[in-house]
Amino acid sequence: MSLSITSLASIAIDLQSGIAHPDRFARLIRTLRQLLGSDATALLRYEDRQFCPLAIDGLAQDVLGRRFALDAHPRLEAIARAGDVVRFPADSELPDPYDGLIPQHSDLKVHACLGLPLFADQNLIGALTVDGMNPLQFDSFSDEELRLVGALVAGALNTALLMEQLENQTPAAAVVPAARKNDGGEMVGLSAGIEQLKKEIEIVAGSDLNVLITGETGVGKELVARAIHSGSARAANPLVYLNCAALPESVAESELFGHVKGAFTGAIHHRTGKFEMADNGTLFLDEIGELPLTLQAKLLRVLQYGDIQRVGDDSSQRVNVRVLAATNRDLKQQVLAGEFRADLFHRLSVFPLHVPALRERGDDITLLAGFFCEQSRAKMGLKQVVLSAGARELLHRYDWPGNIRELEHAIYRAIVLARAGHPAGELVLEPQHFQLAEVVPQTMPAAAADLTPGVDNLRQATDEFQRRVIVQTLAANGSSWAAAARQLQLDVANLHRLAKRLGVK
Ligand SMILES: Nc1ncnc2c1ncn2[C@@H]1O[C@H](COP(=O)(O)OP(=O)(O)OP(=O)(O)O)[C@@H](O)[C@H]1O
Ligand SMILES: [Mg+2]
């Protein structure tokens, strides 16, 4: 069977009419599957030497979260380089990025594979990959026909990308689409919560407001701060990081504002404070809830008057700094408890941004799992890493108190475990590779039940529960914090911090 004029005309019309639709890419890919009779089809966008799936059909859902670097994928690299239709022979040595990711044929390798690079003017903007299980599946299509399909899809993709840019147009987004920029951390996720967050980031990035970023531990607050900075007019200037929790009160002031030589015993040199370093840029104050009250007063002063005083210096100095602050604590609660200044809270939270917990992000769990599988695969030089259906389900059921950081570590650990039995490097992650079982919600009710009577404050109840778990785990591990942290799958520093906050230490 080859493509008739009518079928080509119908995809042209279909592509054009679908363009205004929000899931335009998904429609496009469905049309192509019908047209080409493929088992798996993916539309990929090309940017920064990597391919990012925009829509998939016939492939595991987690493929949407995978990012395929050219350097790690010779097959995609060949498509990017070719400038024309590429047909891979069935016995091609080049690994297929989708091996094991076609759910209907999970144990089979891809046999027929076509790649169509997509161009706008002379620039590569994407690729279409078309895979089939039958080696001869696409032989009936001529190169000319496939080229024509490629040209139609490229046109539709280009228009769609332009439209997307227009839709996201805010003053700052015109310069950098902040949330999409891949400078050390793309924000993977398509859930409503994360789409909303990306919009808010683009809006707030363009303003010069201070921003308070809230959310549980490991949700990506730092990533949000970086996205705001890189989407702002200050992007070319420094983003300076300061963790308020790691600051002993005695050095905190000089850390923030600097000191002059001789300011105190041991001050043998001038020292530049973080505020000065961030001049004309952004200062990211992480864990702002831990900032001692005395320093809160000094910080407030800078935010009000825009000038700083170095320790030991009578004169003050003007700085132009935008402050982004983050916390996983309930600052309002802290204000009520007298631990955080109300006036500082109001200054900082002119534009509050809340980062949703992973358990509230629905299928983002799958996407992020795919993202981390592919990332670890490339880093560890493995051939393929896929999730079994059981593993995907387990990841969905679990409630991720440590959020994305916990997921990242869980995937990494699962890979290490799975690799032990598979030196060939083609790994299928199964439920038993994840050690989440003991904390999966199903096992919780018994423990939680005795807490529920009289619970009228979820936060307090949760704290109490965590306190008990930590105490018990410590006892079970001979008071070793490191061992307890391992068992609880927490970073040991985070466990210390949590214990400190809960008053266990
Ligand atoms: N949407 C996302 N897509 C991909 N990776 C993400 C995403 N969000 C977070 N991450 C990754 O998860 C890890 C934790 O993120 P981050 O350090 O920003 O969390 P956090 O909210 O600052 O946590 P904490 O409160 O513990 O400081 C990082 O490795 C980050 O790159
Ligand atoms: Mg952080």
pLDDT at 174: 38
Ligand 1 pocket, mutate which of 284, 405, 491 (most atoms under 8 A from CB):
405
Q: Ligand 1 pocket by C-beta < 6 Å: which residues?
A: 185, 187-189, 215, 217-223, 328, 368, 371, 404-405, 408
Q: Do 95 and 117 belong together in one domain?
A: yes
pLDDT at 96: 86
pLDDT in tens, 189-209: 999 999 999 999 999 999 999
Which residue is associated with the tokens 């800078």? Answer: 302
Q: Do 239 and 374 belong together in one domain?
A: no
Q: Is 133 helix (H, G, I), strand (E, B) or coil?
A: coil
Give me the domain span that covers residue 87. 5-167
Q: Do 229 and 330 belong together in one domain?
A: yes
Burial class (CB in 10 A: 0-12, 13-18, 19+), 125: middle
CA distance 323 to 306: 11
CA distance 465 to 447: 9
Q: Is residue 173 part of a domain?
A: no
CA distance 124 to 76: 12
Q: Do 218 and 326 belong together in one domain?
A: yes
Among the three residues 167, 193, 223, which one is the final residue of a domain in this structure?
167
Q: Do 113 and 218 belong together in one domain?
A: no
Q: Is residue 172 part of a domain?
A: no
CA distance 24 to 162: 13
pLDDT at 454: 57
Index of the ligand 1 atom closest to the CA of residue 223: 18
Q: Which two tokens stand for residue 46?
A: 């090309």
Index of the ligand 1 atom closest to the CA of residue 404: 12
pLDDT at 18: 65
Q: How many A from CA of 326 to the centre of ligand 2? A: 7
CA distance 267 to 218: 36
DSSP assignment string, 155-217: HHHHHHHHHHHHHT--TTTTT--GGG--SS------SHHHHHHHHHHHHHHHS---EEEE-ST
Q: How many A from CA of 379 to the centre of ligand 2? A: 23
Extended strands (E) in 288-339: 307-308, 317-318, 322-327
pLDDT in tens, 28-69: 788 888 888 888 999 999 999 999 999 999 999 999 999 999
Q: Do 10 and 159 belong together in one domain?
A: yes
Structural domains counted in the chain: 4
Q: Do 35 and 134 belong together in one domain?
A: yes
Q: Is residue 63 part of a domain?
A: yes
Q: Which residues of the chain have pLDDT under 70?
A: 1-2, 18-22, 106-110, 168-184, 437-456
The protein residue whose alpha carbon is closest to atom 9 in ligand 1 is 220
pLDDT at 191: 94
